[in-house]
């Protein structure tokens, strides 16, 4: 039964390898209701972000921007939480022409975003699902993830790099299976490829990875298949994202805690927030 399942999988991969094609996913167009409208606005932001002499506004400037918000001059969005999601939302909204504020109770990436896998992966598991389930949605997800992987590494080469991932094989079927699957991963990556995957013999594998066991479960090592995904410094990358949002015009403040929300008495809608500057509180305590 196990052999039959393996053969079916091998046949599915072999059939799909001839059918997989590379599709360029076009960049999503700017929404028609974006205030920026693209064009000169985005060009100006890009120039400011890429200018090596640009300086992130000081904390006092950021505080003043948040405190200057009022019913007559409101923020469009107040993002609560300066993790990967919050900083990403702030940057995205700012580049769409919205007035944005971002507050974080502690420091940027002090929570979940500092404890990620630190991988920037293209979704090799999704590719396997796409093949075996004939799911084009999963395949599109892989295309998009690979494009984003390359984009992140190109945007922050000082914080991201290619990472070799080794898969040990103790059966020849495993070696063939993983080699074909990862070659398809290379094919799907297309121009976003980091490095070509390849097979290493058992002797080469032990030389490259001295701690690799040559025996496992009464089987001897047949070789390894190595492919490449990305790795990042997640905390520093998120701080860079917050700084980029600030350069683009967002009011970004860490150690600023939302204490309560202000509501419109007529309809109960949230119209503001009470924010405590924890740095000022600490200084007063000292």
What confidence tens digit (pLDDT) does each residue in 47-63 have? 888 888 999 999 999 99
C-alpha closest to that of 123 among 144, 137, 101: 144
- Sequence-ordered list of residues with C-beta below 8 angstroms from that of 168, at least 6 positions apart, any chain: 205, 212, 213, 216, 221, 224
Q: Is 76 left (phi over 0), alpha (psi -120 to 50) or beta?
A: alpha
Q: Return the percentage of the chain with pLDDT > 90, whole number.
A: 62
**pLDDT of 1 above 50:** no
Continuous segment of H or E residues that includes residue 78: strand 77-80
The whole-chain average pLDDT of the chain stands at 85
- Sequence-ordered list of residues with C-beta below 8 angstroms from that of 261, at least 6 positions apart, any chain: 270, 272, 273, 274
What confidence tens digit (pLDDT) does each residue in 151-206 have? 999 999 999 999 999 999 999 999 999 999 999 999 999 999 999 999 999 999 99
- Sequence-ordered list of residues with C-beta below 8 angstroms from that of 200, at least 6 positions apart, any chain: 208, 223, 224, 225, 226
| End-to-end Cα spacing for the chain | 71
Strand partners, 225: 167, 199
Query: At 266, is the pLDDT very low, low, confident or very high (cuts 50, 70, 90)?
Result: confident
For position 6, what pLDDT does the model report? 46
Give the Cα separation of 17 and 188 in Å (integer).
10
* Token pair listed for 180: 């074909």
Mean of the pLDDT values across residues 19-24?
Answer: 32
Q: Are 222 and 172 in contact (CB under 8 A)?
A: yes
Query: At 70, is the pLDDT very low, low, confident or very high (cuts 50, 70, 90)?
Result: confident
Mean of the pLDDT values across residues 20-45?
Answer: 54
For position 83, what pLDDT does the model report? 95
Stated length of the chain? 286
What confidence tens digit (pLDDT) does each residue in 122-137 have? 989 999 999 998 999 9
Among 37-51, 54-68, 227-241, name the most confident range. Answer: 227-241
**pLDDT of 5 above 50:** no
Give the Cα separation of 253 and 237 in Å (integer).
17
For position 176, what pLDDT does the model report? 96
DSSP 8-state class, residue 258: E
Give the Cα separation of 129 and 222 in Å (integer).
26
**pLDDT of 36 above 80:** no
């Amino acid at each position: 039964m196990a052999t039959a399942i393996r053969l079916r999988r091998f046949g599915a991969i072999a059939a799909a390898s001839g059918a997989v094609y590379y599709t360029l996913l076009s960049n999503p167009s700017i929404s028609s209701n974006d205030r920026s409208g693209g064009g000169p606005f985005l060009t100006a932001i890009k120039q400011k972000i890429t200018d090596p002499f640009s300086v992130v506004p000081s904390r006092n400037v950021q505080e003043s921007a948040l405190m200057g918000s009022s019913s007559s001059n409101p923020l469009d969005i107040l993002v609560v939480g300066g993790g990967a999601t919050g900083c990403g939302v702030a940057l995205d909204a700012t580049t769409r022409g919205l007035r944005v504020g971002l507050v974080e109770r502690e420091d940027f990436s002090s929570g979940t975003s500092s404890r990620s896998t630190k991988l920037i992966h293209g979704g090799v598991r999704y590719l396997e699902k796409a093949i075996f389930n004939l799911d084009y949605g999963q395949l599109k997800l892989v295309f998009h993830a690979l494009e984003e992987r390359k984009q992140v590494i190109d945007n922050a080469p000082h914080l991201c790099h290619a990472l070799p991932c080794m898969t040990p094989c103790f059966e020849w079927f495993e070696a063939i299976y993983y080699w074909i699957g990862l070659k398809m991963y290379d094919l799907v990556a297309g121009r976003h490829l980091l490095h070509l995957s390849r097979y290493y013999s058992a002797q080469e594998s032990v030389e490259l990875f001295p701690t690799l066991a040559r025996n496992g479960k009464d089987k001897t090592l047949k070789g390894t298949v190595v492919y490449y995904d990305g790795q990042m410094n997640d905390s520093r990358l998120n701080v860079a994202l917050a700084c980029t949002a600030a350069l683009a015009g967002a009011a970004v403040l860490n150690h600023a805690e939302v204490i309560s929300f202000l509501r419109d008495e007529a309809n109960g809608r949230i119209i503001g927030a009470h924010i405590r500057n924890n740095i000022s509180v600490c200084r007063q305590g000292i």
